[in-house]
Amino acid sequence: MTLRPHTKKFIGVLAILVWLAVFIVIAWGVGIRVLPQANGLVKFLYYAVAGIAWIVPIGLMLPWMSRDPRKPNS
């Protein structure tokens, strides 16, 4: 069974929204539990990594969302 491109994009958008909500809650929880006792450098590194890390799974999902199963791979 192959999914139509519109269906894949709809599933992808829903997955992105769920992923972002989960990631925000986790990053927020770590931030309020661990970072108040941390020094400035640790806070900076945490926010730098957390600010970039959310995009990795989305970047891996985007090619799947945009791939048309009716066209052969080139």
70 pLDDT tier (thresholds 50, 70, 90): low
55 pLDDT tier (thresholds 50, 70, 90): very high
Predicted structure pTM score: 0.76
Report the alpha-carbon distance of residue 13 to residue 61 in Å, rounded.
10
Question: Which amino acid, one-letter code, is at 10?
Answer: F
Where does 1-74 have alpha helices with state H?
Answer: 5-33, 40-53, 55-66
